[in-house]
Amino acid sequence: MKASDVMTAKVVTISPDSSLSDMIKLMLDHRISGLPVVAADGKLVGIVTEGDCLRRTETGTEVKRSFWRDLVTGSETLAAEYIRSHGRKVSEVMSRDPIVVAPDTALSDVIPLMEKHQIKRVPVVKDGVIVGILSRANLLQALSGLVKDAKVEQSDTKIRADVIAALSSLPWAANEFLNVTVKDGVVDLWGCFTAYRQDEAAIIATENVPGVKKVNNHLSWVDPMSGMVIYSADEKAPLVRSTV
């Protein structure tokens, strides 16, 4: 499946010159949490979300530092924070250079992109012009149809259950962060691990399950203290290991 197969084609957008109050009203009226920002020529120039309104002087939530912390913080950072917390136009609070995908981008490439950048939506762009938006909700809608209509081979169902059981037997593995999908004997491992080489061990445990033909690793190594992604297999080509 491609981005164009599940994206929302009718996109609510806003101009970079629009006021912050207009932006808030538009979000509330349409019950959405983000808006692509489109210039007069139709080109996508940014994206603005509810997260861009968290640090505002009106609510007393702007970034506050001690006098000494201000001294060691770069002037550019301080200026950017001031603009974001005091700005009155969309162009002053929006995120520039947003992550985008093309209409023919495969969903298998979109998902790792959203996970890596921890974003809930991606604009779908063709020749610089937005033609749709793909959100997590769109993906759930697509999944709902597939769950109802797609025929899953019994062998794949058993393989998935056996892989999950094999991973669950590893007491040190962060199994609550892992997900498994299987198609024609090919297993994809999704999610994250929290200690060095847990992903390698998970791959080996999966390879030892009868019926598994190949394992694709999409796992990310996340620091459990900071929540930061230290390594993501999908930053490069996914690690593919064949068992036959």
Each of the 244 residues of the chain gets a pLDDT tens digit; together they read: 788 888 887 788 999 999 988 988 888 888 788 899 999 988 999 999 877 776 667 666 565 665 556 555 566 665 666 666 667 789 888 888 889 999 999 888 998 888 888 888 899 999 989 998 898 877 876 675 555 445 545 688 899 889 988 988 887 655 555 778 888 888 888 877 777 778 888 899 999 999 999 999 888 776 655 555 555 565 544 444 445 4
Q: What is the pLDDT of residue 239?
A: 44
125: CB partners within 8 A, 6+ apart: 44, 100, 101, 102, 131
Q: According to CATH, what is the number of the domain 151-242?
A: 3.30.1340.30
The three-state secondary structure class of 46 is: strand
Q: What is the pLDDT of residue 104?
A: 92
Q: What is the pLDDT of residue 73?
A: 59
Q: How far apart (Å, rounded) are the C-alpha atoms in residues 172 and 196?
A: 12
CA distances from 26 to 11, 23, 34, 37, 231 (A): 12, 5, 10, 12, 38
The domain 3-143 having CATH identifier 2.160.10.10: the answer here is no
Where in the sequence of the chain do the CATH 3.30.1340.30 domains occur?
151-242
Q: What is the pLDDT of residue 30?
A: 80
Instruction: State the pTM of this model.
Output: 0.52
Where in the sequence of the chain do the CATH 3.10.580.10 domains occur?
3-143
CA distances from 196 to 27, 163, 172, 211, 231 (A): 42, 21, 12, 27, 10
Closest CA to 35 of 10, 8, 21, 14: 14
Tokens of 23: 């932006």
